[in-house]
A and B are shown apart, each in its own frame.
Chain A
């Protein structure tokens, strides 16, 4: 049961966050052909918007049956989407008009990273915040497994809602991409930008929609991450690399690849740091006496969790450079 707690639940939660972040990265790459480095900080920024909105409710002592972070999420997503549009208009659009190369846009996005980080620190300092410091309880569900002679399965209420919200967002995105005119135009532009232009598709509109979706999903991912752990200015900057790894492993430009890559890396990381001796220990009676189960049998120490993503990324680039779903190879 320890396995379910540490791997299945933690992996699903981490995978959801990676998937939502990676979708944004992969969509931006598909449409605008550059690696949006500031995506992690867009997540952090979104989380702070959700936090600020929640504070309003906490201030008036209004509590909801679910965490306030989820209640305000749609509003925070809208704000983040608007800011993402603003950043595009102020930073990336002028460069695109001058015909800047992707690498120039990449460098610009590193600049945007520094700006967002600076602004967040200006308002919130460097401290750590939590949605649950203001009197709202973090409900913990425990399922008694004593009948199986095991420890209870434990997960928190935010973790449960997080997975539901992720599933919901992915379903909405799927409908948008396969069932609506604009969503199909987005796939068309990612597939063949020249032909999309020739077909009369309004490419400016598609670019705007891309930023709205990427910004909104980044906000959702950031808020969830901060609800699961805590909120700090470098919250998502540290996971921007596994998010890029997830997008590449899934196949750049492929939204479904990003989802698959996100969950793959989420599970791989939690499996990598899982202490296998907890599974072997109950069997120690059955094992020959010369086998001693060491106290820690995890593949990588927790501090090096991120390396798991990189090993998978390197393996993908070596054996299947276009990713699981055959994305762009550039």
Chain B
């Protein structure tokens, strides 16, 4: 049974639907990467899973249970976590307070998880008293990921984690994502750096115009000449 399964989902913001029957399914050990041209509905797919826009038909299943149109305050305790692409830190709050907010749904002692996050991103421990708004783009992305990990999710969804980062940070963030996955968290992410992301993806989904075009392992998609020609820039 897949950890998360999106079945034939149609969703939008009230007007014409942006997703016209999208299927995504990944296992608990997978890194799933969604790629595709602008406006294909990649980010929208993540938002539809996370209850941020209305699913009008189709189903979203988490561990076989229906979570279609559930709101985040129900999904986070269940083990889903989402890092938005923009405005993904509380700029006026300190780094540590940002991480604490990620643990808001937990009523148990989360100091162990806090130490794990600091172990993964040592620079955050150094800057834990600083307002997150004063950090660089790459460090903010670490705060955002750390915040999402504080709820001890089983599925971490990331919307273009490498957007706007320098090549050095892109690599670093990807390494962190692989490390999180090795620790037992399934990853579902949207990426513009498609070739780079598919290289470490165990599942790849190519979307276009709100529909699945190709599905396979990351390596299969890179090797597919048609995918390479149309979606990976030759």
| A108: B residues at CB distance < 8 A | none
| A201: B residues at CB distance < 8 A | 73, 101, 104
| B89: A residues at CB distance < 8 A | 192, 195
A185/B91 in contact, CB under 8 A: no
| A197: B residues at CB distance < 8 A | 71-73
Q: Is B84 an interface residue (CB 8 A)?
A: yes
A191/B104 in contact, CB under 8 A: no
User: Given that A184-B97, A194-B84 are known contacts, is A199 also in contact with B102, CB under 8 Å in the complex?
Assistant: yes
List the 10 closest A-B pairs by CB distance, nearest first: A200-B76, A200-B105, A191-B90, A188-B101, A191-B92, A201-B104, A200-B73, A188-B90, A199-B101, A202-B73
| A187: B residues at CB distance < 8 A | 90, 92-93, 97
Q: Is A316 an interface residue (CB 8 A)?
A: no
Give chain A interface residues in 209-228, CB to chain B under 8 Å. none
User: Given that A200-B77, A201-B73 are known contacts, is A195 also in contact with B90, CB under 8 Å in the complex?
Assistant: yes
Query: How many of A's residues come within 8 Å of B, CB to CB?
Result: 17
A198/B104 in contact, CB under 8 A: no
The distance in angstroms between the C-alpha atoms of A187 and B90, with both chains bound, is 9
Q: Is B62 an interface residue (CB 8 A)?
A: no
Contact residues of A: prevailing secondary structure: helix
Nearest A residue to B50 by beta-carbon distance? A198
B87/A185 in contact, CB under 8 A: no
Q: Is B203 an interface residue (CB 8 A)?
A: no
Nearest B residue to A199 by beta-carbon distance? B101
Q: Is A203 an interface residue (CB 8 A)?
A: yes
| B102: A residues at CB distance < 8 A | 199
| B90: A residues at CB distance < 8 A | 187-188, 191-192, 195-196
The distance in angstroms between the C-alpha atoms of A201 and B104, with both chains bound, is 6
Give chain B interface residues in 100-120, CB to chain A under 8 Å. 100-102, 104-105
Q: Is B163 an interface residue (CB 8 A)?
A: no
B87/A199 in contact, CB under 8 A: no
Q: How far is the CB of B73 from chain A (nearest CB, A)?
A: 5
Partner of A199, one of B52, B71, B91, B147: B147
A199/B104 in contact, CB under 8 A: yes
The distance in angstroms between the C-alpha atoms of A184 and B98, with both chains bound, is 9
The distance in angstroms between the C-alpha atoms of A181 and B101, with both chains bound, is 8
**Of B97, B102, B104, B105, which is in contact with the most chain A CB atoms at under 10 Å from its CB?**
B104
User: Given that A191-B91, A200-B77 are known contacts, is A184 also in contact with B72, CB under 8 Å in the complex?
Assistant: no
The distance in angstroms between the C-alpha atoms of A33 and B105, with both chains bound, is 24
Q: Is B82 an interface residue (CB 8 A)?
A: yes
**Mask of A147-180 contacts with B, CB within 8 angstroms, 1/0:** 0000000000000000000000000000000000
The distance in angstroms between the C-alpha atoms of A254 and B87, with both chains bound, is 19
Q: Is B217 an interface residue (CB 8 A)?
A: no
The distance in angstroms between the C-alpha atoms of A181 and B104, with both chains bound, is 7
The distance in angstroms between the C-alpha atoms of A202 and B71, with both chains bound, is 10
| B151: A residues at CB distance < 8 A | 199-200
Nearest B residue to A196 by beta-carbon distance? B101
Nearest A residue to B106 by beta-carbon distance? A200
The distance in angstroms between the C-alpha atoms of A181 and B82, with both chains bound, is 21
Pull 23 A–B residue pairs with CB atoms less than 8 Å apart, ordered by A: A181-B100, A184-B93, A184-B97, A187-B90, A187-B92, A188-B93, A191-B91, A191-B92, A192-B89, A194-B84, A194-B87, A195-B84, A195-B89, A195-B90, A197-B72, A197-B73, A199-B72, A199-B76, A199-B102, A200-B77, A200-B105, A201-B73, A202-B104
Nearest A residue to B47 by beta-carbon distance? A198
B87/A195 in contact, CB under 8 A: yes
What would 20 more interface pairs be, CB under 8 Å, given A184-B97, A185-B104, A198-B82? A184-B93, A185-B101, A187-B92, A187-B93, A187-B97, A191-B91, A191-B93, A192-B87, A192-B91, A195-B88, A197-B71, A197-B72, A198-B84, A199-B72, A199-B76, A199-B104, A200-B75, A200-B77, A202-B104, A203-B73
The distance in angstroms between the C-alpha atoms of A197 and B105, with both chains bound, is 11
The distance in angstroms between the C-alpha atoms of A181 and B103, with both chains bound, is 10
Nearest A residue to B88 by beta-carbon distance? A195
Q: How far is the CB of A101 from chain B (nearest CB, A)?
A: 16
| B77: A residues at CB distance < 8 A | 200
The distance in angstroms between the C-alpha atoms of A203 and B101, with both chains bound, is 12
Nearest A residue to B105 by beta-carbon distance? A200
| B84: A residues at CB distance < 8 A | 194-195, 198
Nearest A residue to B82 by beta-carbon distance? A198
The distance in angstroms between the C-alpha atoms of A194 and B82, with both chains bound, is 12
The distance in angstroms between the C-alpha atoms of A191 and B91, with both chains bound, is 7
| A181: B residues at CB distance < 8 A | 100, 104
